[in-house]
Amino acid sequence: MELLSSASLKFRPSTPPSTLLSSSSSFHSSTNLHLIYKQIHFPTFNSSTGQILPVQATVSVKTDEDRLPADVEVVETQEPSSRIRLSVSVPPVVCEDCYSRVLAEFTKLVKIPGFRPGKKVPDYILENYVGKKNIRQATIESILKRTLPHAMSSVEGKALKDSVRIITKFSDMDEAFSSHSDFLRYDVIVDVAPEVKWIPENGYKSLEITVEIDNEIDAQTACEAEIKRRYKSLGSLRIVADRGLQVYFVFPWILNVFLYHFFCLFVYSSLVRKSKGYQLDTEDSDHLPPGFLEAIVGIRPGETRSFPLVFPESWEQENLRGIQAQYTVECKELFYRVLPELDDAVADRLIPGCSTLNEVRESILQRCKELEQTAKDQATDNAILDQLRKMVEIDIPQSIFEDQGRQLYGATLLEIQAKQQLSEEQLASLSSPKAVNEFLENQRESITDVIKQNLAVADVFKRENLQLPTDEILREVENSIAEFKRNKQEYDEERVKDQVQEIMEGAKVLEWLREHVVIKYVTR
């Protein structure tokens, strides 16, 4: 979310301004004027950076281009969620100046019988011809357009872009102005950059984290598992006809493969799970609850068994911990796998080009070490970011929440679209305001966590006075823009620069933190 200065105030009206602001003949009749309209734009995905770039269309208004004949009075009131209310009082001299400008514009636009185009028309004739109500409403809009940038000067450098909106109803302003045409009052709500409060202060400097590493990513363990997987793929399956299921080696290099249907009723959770044609290798049974294999030992093709099981409290799926389940298993077919001798003769079949098992193992181990380090680095970064999020208190503005939520929702839609082609009707339904708002509400906690994490990282970058090489930023921006052009996607260059800056700052902060925090690794 960008900061907004009064000199570059940008806003979008929810309804196009009337004649004096848009040179049209229609007049504003909305009951609630919003100079800022946060329309939902589904953003573009930058595949090179993995970021979402929202589309933005704004109009710039500069205070130095429109000096007022007098200053407006602004009273600030602090609101929750890092918001400030600006109560604006416009003096009579400014209202009168706007009124004069409105009449001058109408004189140019309308053709009144008996008067040459552009010739001065008496005010009372112009008012009767155009209508006092239309002139009054156009004057109010002129006042708002001219005074809002000046009123915002009190929060210059703090206001967040696209967060400003006038909350006073246009109908109320119209009614008040019709009674007292010498002044106008209105209230504005604006989000400001939130304060990041660390608990304890500068606590990130003495950060101690514990990083849990899955045993499966251990290079040696993963290497042996990959060799085993490749080796088993060399085997052939043969039907078992003279015995039931065995869950141990029958003789060297022969394993069981069990094809079955099962029906499972989770007694206390009212969940039912069915599966047909499920193939189980008895050597790969870690995903089954304890006791499952023991309950089906000896089962033969065509036989059905029913048995209860209780999921342990350590089960990976939390919603199944402690749940009693009733399984019904029907064995359809039973196979055993015959494998060749595991020696140098099969090395080339395991990895083409290798002549010995040692070459196979070294090749796979090197790749596993690279994957282990990547996974370890990622787990470390995640643990650091998670700890930073827990150490900060931030009063998050609604505009930042909605902006981040919409980015996440846009990314979710892109993932869905990548996995399955959505029809225009489906995409329209998922892109509707209702769908977006439901996502924002359902994912409020996770969106809030992401925002706290991002703001914490940005604060560390600022506090530690970290720097980024300008040439690197420019190079990444050029790469991102080139990616957009290759994919024929629209982009906002300023937004691309902001996103690239944010990504690189985050990487710099993580690099700095890895050098300054105490990290302990444990295997789970």
Per the rule left: phi > 0, alpha: psi between -120 and 50, beta: everything else, 164 is beta
Number of domains in the chain: 3
- Full strand arrangement of the beta sheet holding 83-90: 73-79, 83-90, 184-191, 165-166
464 beta partners: none
Q: What is the CA radius of gyration of the chain?
A: 34
Between CA 339 and CA 349 the distance in angstroms is: 13
Which tens digit of pLDDT belongs to each residue from 78-100?
999 899 999 999 999 999 999 88
- Domain contains 91: yes
Residue 447 has pLDDT above 90, yes or no: yes
Domain of 186 in residue numbering reads as 3-193
Which tens digit of pLDDT belongs to each residue from 132-148?
888 889 999 999 999 99
- Which residues contact residue 505 at a Cβ distance below 8 angstroms, ignoring those fewer than 6 apart? 457, 458, 461, 466, 468
Last residue of a domain, which of 193, 224, 245? 193
Q: State the chain's mean pLDDT as an integer.
A: 78
Which tens digit of pLDDT belongs to each residue from 149-204?
999 888 888 888 778 889 999 999 988 888 766 789 999 999 998 999 999 988 89
Q: Is residue 141 domain-shared with residue 277, that is, in the same domain?
A: no
Q: Is residue 426 domain-shared with residue 306, that is, in the same domain?
A: no
How is 191-233 classified by DSSP, letter by letter? Answer: EBPPP-EESSTTGGGG-EEEEEE-GGG-HHHHHHHHHHHHHHT
Confidence bin at 65 (pLDDT 50/70/90):
low
- Domain contains 360: no
- Mean pLDDT for 400-408 is 91
Query: For residue 340, how many other CB atoms are within 10 A of its CB?
Result: 13
Higher pLDDT, 286 or 70: 70
Between CA 162 and CA 177 the distance in angstroms is: 28
- Domain contains 205: no
Q: Is residue 12 domain-shared with residue 137, that is, in the same domain?
A: yes
Q: Is residue 510 domain-shared with residue 399, that is, in the same domain?
A: yes
Last residue of a domain, which of 291, 323, 339? 339
| Residue whose token pair is 């998050």 | 396
Q: Is residue 182 domain-shared with residue 77, that is, in the same domain?
A: yes
Residue 408: is it exposed, middle or buried by C-beta count within 10 angstroms (0-12/13-18/19+)?
middle
Give phi and psi for 43, each to the nearest 5: -75, 170
- Domain contains 515: yes
Q: Decide: 335 and 240 in contact? Cβ < 8 Å.
A: yes
- Domain contains 413: yes
Q: Is residue 185 domain-shared with residue 304, that is, in the same domain?
A: no
pLDDT at 273: 53
Confidence bin at 21 (pLDDT 50/70/90):
very low
| Residue whose token pair is 């790469």 | 479
Residue 56 has pLDDT above 80, yes or no: no
CATH code, 471: 1.10.3120
Q: Is residue 16 domain-shared with residue 108, that is, in the same domain?
A: yes
Q: Decide: 32 and 169 in contact? Cβ < 8 Å.
A: yes
Last residue of a domain, which of 193, 213, 243? 193
Q: Decide: 195 and 158 in contact? Cβ < 8 Å.
A: no
How is 472-517 classified by DSSP, letter by letter? Answer: HHHHHHHHHHHHHHHTT----HHHHHHHHHHHHHHHHHHHHHHHHS
- Which residues contact residue 231 at a Cβ distance below 8 angstroms, ignoring those fewer than 6 apart? 339, 342, 346, 350
Of residues 426, 446, 447, the one with CA closest to residue 435: 426
Higher pLDDT, 461 or 253: 461
Q: Is residue 318 domain-shared with residue 440, that is, in the same domain?
A: no
261 beta partners: 330
Q: Is residue 164 domain-shared with residue 267, that is, in the same domain?
A: no
- Find out whether the peptide bond into 200 is cis, omega within 30 degrees of 0: yes
Between CA 145 and CA 151 the distance in angstroms is: 11
Q: What percent of the chain has pLDDT over 90?
A: 35
CATH code, 241: 3.10.50.40
Half-sphere exposure of 40 (CA within 13 A, CB side): 18
Query: For residue 467, how many other CB atoms are within 10 A of its CB?
Result: 9
Which tens digit of pLDDT belongs to each residue from 382-397?
999 999 999 999 999 9
Which two tokens mark 188? 């504005």
Q: Is residue 174 domain-shared with residue 314, that is, in the same domain?
A: no
SS3 64: helix
- Domain contains 198: no
Of residues 85, 117, 317, the one with CA closest to residue 187: 85
Confidence bin at 420 (pLDDT 50/70/90):
confident
Higher pLDDT, 511 or 417: 511
Of residues 460, 496, 459, 463, the one with CA closest to residue 478: 496
- Domain contains 169: yes
Q: Is residue 261 domain-shared with residue 141, that is, in the same domain?
A: no
- Domain contains 51: yes
Q: Decide: 131 and 175 in contact? Cβ < 8 Å.
A: no
Between CA 167 and CA 188 the distance in angstroms is: 6
Between CA 514 and CA 379 the distance in angstroms is: 12
Of residues 315, 260, 320, the one with CA closest to residue 293: 260
Q: Is residue 14 domain-shared with residue 65, that is, in the same domain?
A: yes
Which two tokens mark 115? 């008067």
Between CA 57 and CA 54 the distance in angstroms is: 10
Residue 478 has pLDDT above 60, yes or no: yes
